Amino acid sequence: MTPVHRIPAGAKLLILAVAGTGLVAVDGWSWMAVALIMTLALYAVARQPRDRVMAQLRPLLWLLVPLFLAQGYMSSWPLAALTVLRITTLVLLAGLVTLTTRSEAMIEAIEKGLRPLARFGVDPAKVALAFSLALRFIPVIARQSADIRDAQRARGLGNNPLALALPLILRTLKMASDVADAIEARSCEDDGPEAAHSPASQHTSSRSRPSCIELDLPPKTSFTSPCSPR
């Protein structure tokens, strides 16, 4: 285990927040380049291979390249370099935290950090649940996107963006609805029999709800896209 892995999750999140705030205050592209080099050095200390570094940046290339060109053409090239380097450094820092921290430890740290806000009406458990669901849905949605892309390619649609976006949005909304119903059902069970007889619970009981949070993904070709050839 590397020194980066041994840093507690709460300390990593705090360092990430401070570093992100500091990077926003940097106004020179050369200093931002130094920050990027230091971030890459942290990847080396954490023994993260080059492939993982590129995996953090590859999805951003479609954004960074046009942003650099547009910013340089409309404003100045140093400002364009500063903007792109800042985004790259922030993404790599956040990626390093997620790569070297267990998700359970991160959620626990977030819940502990929000406990002082409970007196102001913030529910730390609900916020932690939202973070855990977000982390859980990222790989699920990525897997669904790959499944839909394979199915549409088999139908001869190639890389049609509409053929990918529409089924993916529908699946994501359906999953979100199922998870929300499952959470609502569990909260009613935790509230006891009084909540079960409340008007809200009687209204929601008329719908079929899953008893637990399970993401039962449909098969690859179980959807029908309006873009599919007839």
Tens of pLDDT, residue by residue over 6-29, are 999 889 999 999 999 999 988 889
How many angstroms separate the CA atoms of 209 and 81, rounded? 51
Same domain assignment for residues 96 and 127: no
Number of H helices, E strands in the chain: 11, 0
144 neighbors 169 (Cβ within 8 angstroms): no
228: in domain: no
Same domain assignment for residues 82 and 18: yes
Interior angle at CA 73, CA 71 and CA 78, nearest 5: 60
51, pLDDT greater than 70: yes
Instruction: Say what the pLDDT of residue 19 is.
Output: 92
89: in domain: yes
Q: What is the average per-residue pLDDT within 173-195? A: 68
106: in domain: no
Band the pLDDT of 32: cuts 50, 70, 90.
very high
139: in domain: yes
Most confident of 60-64, 78-82, 172-176, 225-229: 78-82
Range of the domain at 47: 3-101
Share the mean pLDDT of the chain. Answer: 78
- Total number of domains in the chain: 2
Same domain assignment for residues 27 and 84: yes
220: in domain: no
